[in-house]
Structure 1
């Protein structure tokens, strides 16, 4: 009984203490969890707290980052540079020369080829040039031809000469032709000339008063017989080819130039020609003609050189080595070893000082004699790594350093 009375009295005292101030019970904020305290602070009528009915403040804008990016670099210490063999070269304007090396073939000079034919029918009674490859001089006899038609023409010419000297007794016919005798004789003489009978042969016919049974064909040039189509006793027809002669005092060299090299080729460019069987000897020449067609199989164009051949050392169908040196003028250039070609872009490593190298994308142009033209990405005076740049690139790849994209 006493225990029950004690519990009732304790509860009564506790209730009195809690409601003595305000008649309400709120736990202190410190006794609440953070989320509950935040919710309680917003509740109206919270003792000791004022309710803020102002609108919430607008969020402050985040600071705008700069759009310009700093170029990434990879650091290679001077000791490490010396160990891997890094060398620098300055970007500068240099005179670039391009050397095109190709092969060529010695050919006949087509302007010095001669075909020997006749304008009349006949038979070869004597053959002076009786084998292919023989050298003949200008005016040297080649063959003797008998032609009944030509023999009759000579006879007519002799008869007109006799009539011109002695027209016979006076008659109306002779009187009518007296003023034309000279013209008639000259017409007969011209007919012999048109059949390629020389002036000396015509004078011989006039002087002897007899027709020549066989007429001799003479060589019009000094050269070699490269084809012989006749034999002694053979019948020939008008226009039929008897011999082909070639003057080898000058020859052509036909060179093959690839399609992508054609824009660099110009008429008059100086070339050097060498032959493997004449070591140490060099021939100078110039480009005389560029043929207008391209070989579909080899994708090459033909270029012609004209060369003197006084000693006859150059023979048709010989092979030659040809060098064509082309001056491309002054261009911004660096060694081609300084450029790393990834297949998608070309990268160089620019020395930024204190062992730092910047990977930079460049646009290149012409290549010539281990130099490459730089069209974009570098300026005159920049220093780039020309050796060991692949090792620098490996270090950059390991550190995740990549060049900025060029716009």
Structure 2
């Protein structure tokens, strides 16, 4: 019996302890649910007014957070109560996140700092032939190829080197006439005959040779007008050539081009006439110097680089087309403000970073960006050195800021406080819509406003809901009453949404 009494007493104690624990948990959950500051969006220490209540700055609709109201009530947009914004919550323009939640989600910050850009930087480049130093040999008249120098494309020739010998019958006849006229002693006729030789395309050296020797020179030698690389050789012995036919193409080697791929973010650094230094793997330890002659107007669509062309002297012919090199461009050393590239959120219209103001509080700041510097971005406006910006997990904070309407309040000026019964300004989604139609049931009606339980409005992405509208004219309320189904036309105005037309719908569909 004694043992049974002891067991009964222990059981009663356990039941009482369980009941007390359950009451405590239920009381804690009720307090947490009634206190908005206990949400995951941030741990907010409750600051009490002298009366023991938290001070509300204003009330707002979470679906339209940019509109503020000065008293509680039902949202004119949705069938829900307005939510208070307390003074001890995140500061205006900021968002609060529980530090424990931020640590769990891996939120990491980085320091806004100044970085000194070097006085020069290197870009890859390739040696190319100078296409401005090109000579093309052409036949001045029709003839026959007697012999050709032993050359092939790719050979290097000196200035004045023999290329080919041509037999020109037309020149032979003209030279005989010139010698015959010259023997007459008529100076005017002799000058005219000599001018004819020039017009036939005969070189001056050949005309002088005919004058001195008195013999017809039907053979004409073609020589290289400049030294360089034979890129094309279009004649062979026995060929017939016509007037204007190309015989050879020679590119000079006294200078070469160096084409570099310059990132478009560095386009402002390069300029025509700027000196450059060139390093080639073929000549280690040796620095060559040239200058930029052109910045080509087209960028590479795949690599997002610009073609920068520099010209280098090549007196010994050591630089060969196709060699790889590094081009060093000089620039002025400067200090710039930088942030990690991962800290920037690009919305398409602006760039935003989140600044850590204090423990668990973050403020979105719009920044103006400059150059890309590896894994960092230059900041031209918006930040100061030493500030802490979120470099990891900022998209979670951005989602929380969007839910609280932080970005909307920054993008648009705060509207003056209005009562919950007033219709707030329209959302930006509807700004481009002049007038829309919908069907709804009248819930409340007065000469100035109407509350409608209306169908969905796809153009505004509105679901079916109950919402208040202002009447554009008091006479719109005539002929309808509470409970009627109406087809109404509404639009956006400076005071919110207003109904401009309203007609009762009959059960059969007739008006």
TM norm. shorter chain > 0.5: yes
- C-alpha spacing 1:91/1:343, structure 2 compared with 1 (3 Å): same
Per the TM alignment, residue 259 of structure 1 is displaced from its structure 2 partner at its CA by 6.0
Q: 2:167 aligns with which of 124, 146, 157?
A: 146
User: What CA deviation, in whole Å up to 9, does each residue of 1:277-331 have, x standing for no partner?
Assistant: 4444443333322334456676655433222222222223444444545559665
Residue matched to 1:347: 353
Residue matched to 1:182: 187
Residue matched to 2:296: 291
Residue matched to 1:34: none
Whether 1:163 aligns to 2:184 is yes
Find the aligned partners of 2:290 and 2:193 in 1 and give their Cα distance: 49
Q: Give the number of aligned pairs.
A: 314
- C-alpha spacing 1:185/1:139, structure 2 compared with 1 (3 Å): farther
CA contact (8 A) 1:97 1:369 kept: no
Find the aligned partners of 2:313 and 2:338 in 1 and give their Cα distance: 40
Residue matched to 1:212: 217
Residue matched to 2:369: 365
Per the TM alignment, residue 150 of structure 1 is displaced from its structure 2 partner at its CA by 0.8
CA contact (8 A) 1:358 1:403 kept: no
- C-alpha spacing 1:369/1:296, structure 2 compared with 1 (3 Å): closer
Per the TM alignment, residue 403 of structure 1 is displaced from its structure 2 partner at its CA by 12
CA contact (8 A) 1:227 1:245 kept: yes
Q: 2:134 aligns with which of 101, 113, 128?
A: 113
Find the aligned partners of 1:253 and 1:350 in 2 and give their Cα distance: 48
Find the aligned partners of 2:298 and 2:112 in 1 and give their Cα distance: 43
Once the two structures are overlaid, the 10-residue window that deviates more, 362-371 or 292-301, is 292-301
CA contact (8 A) 2:159 2:224 kept: yes
- TM-score when scaled to structure 2? 0.50
Q: 1:136 aligns with which of 157, 161, 167?
A: 157
Per the TM alignment, residue 341 of structure 1 is displaced from its structure 2 partner at its CA by 3.3
Find the aligned partners of 2:121 and 2:372 in 1 and give their Cα distance: 7
- C-alpha spacing 1:296/1:390, structure 2 compared with 1 (3 Å): closer
Find the aligned partners of 1:98 and 1:210 in 2 and give their Cα distance: 66
Find the aligned partners of 2:260 and 2:395 in 1 and give their Cα distance: 44
Residue matched to 1:226: 231
User: What CA deviation, in whole Å up to 9, does each residue of 1:82-107 have, x standing for no partner?
Assistant: xx9x9986755966878573444x33
Find the aligned partners of 1:390 and 1:295 in 2 and give their Cα distance: 32
Residue matched to 1:101: 123
Residue matched to 1:65: 57
Residue matched to 1:31: none
3-state SS in 2 of match to 1:65:
strand
Per the TM alignment, residue 112 of structure 1 is displaced from its structure 2 partner at its CA by 1.3
- TM-score when scaled to structure 1? 0.60
Find the aligned partners of 1:127 and 1:322 in 2 and give their Cα distance: 42
Rg larger in structure: 1
Gaps of 5+ in 1: 1-61, 165-180
Once the two structures are overlaid, the 10-residue window that deviates more, 129-138 or 258-267, is 258-267
CA contact (8 A) 1:124 1:234 kept: yes
Per the TM alignment, residue 162 of structure 1 is displaced from its structure 2 partner at its CA by 1.2
- C-alpha spacing 1:192/1:350, structure 2 compared with 1 (3 Å): farther
Find the aligned partners of 1:296 and 1:385 in 2 and give their Cα distance: 33
- C-alpha spacing 1:190/1:222, structure 2 compared with 1 (3 Å): farther
Per the TM alignment, residue 223 of structure 1 is displaced from its structure 2 partner at its CA by 1.7
Gaps of 5+ in 2: 1-53, 59-67, 69-86, 412-511
Q: Which structure dedicates a bigger proportion of its chain to helix?
A: 1
CA contact (8 A) 2:144 2:238 kept: yes
CA contact (8 A) 1:91 1:378 kept: no
Whether 1:247 aligns to 2:252 is yes
- C-alpha spacing 1:263/1:126, structure 2 compared with 1 (3 Å): same
- C-alpha spacing 1:376/1:267, structure 2 compared with 1 (3 Å): same
- C-alpha spacing 1:95/1:317, structure 2 compared with 1 (3 Å): closer
3-state SS in 2 of match to 1:206:
helix
Find the aligned partners of 2:208 and 2:302 in 1 and give their Cα distance: 58
CA contact (8 A) 2:147 2:237 kept: yes
3-state SS in 2 of match to 1:220:
coil
Question: RMSD of the TM alignment (CA)?
Answer: 4.5
Per the TM alignment, residue 208 of structure 1 is displaced from its structure 2 partner at its CA by 1.5
